[in-house]
Amino acid sequence: MRIEILHGDITARKVDAIVNAANSSLLGGGGVDGAIHRAAGGELLEACRELRRTQLQDGLPVGSAVATPAFRLPARWVIHTVGPNRHAGQTDPALLASCFQESLTVAAGLGAQSVAFPAISAGIYGWDARQVAQVAFDAVGSFSSSGRAGDSPLEVVEFVLFSEDTTAVFRTVLESSPGLGG
Gap between the Cα atoms of 15 and 175, Å rounded = 23
- Per the annotation, the verdict on 128 as an active-site residue is no
Residues recorded for the chain:
182
Gap between the Cα atoms of 23 and 60, Å rounded = 8
**Contact, 161 vs 7, CB < 8 A?**
yes
Gap between the Cα atoms of 5 and 85, Å rounded = 24
- Give the active site residue among 9, 16, 33, 58: 33
**Number of Cβ atoms within 10 Å of the Cβ of 46:** 12
**Contact, 7 vs 168, CB < 8 A?**
no
Catalytically active residues are: 33
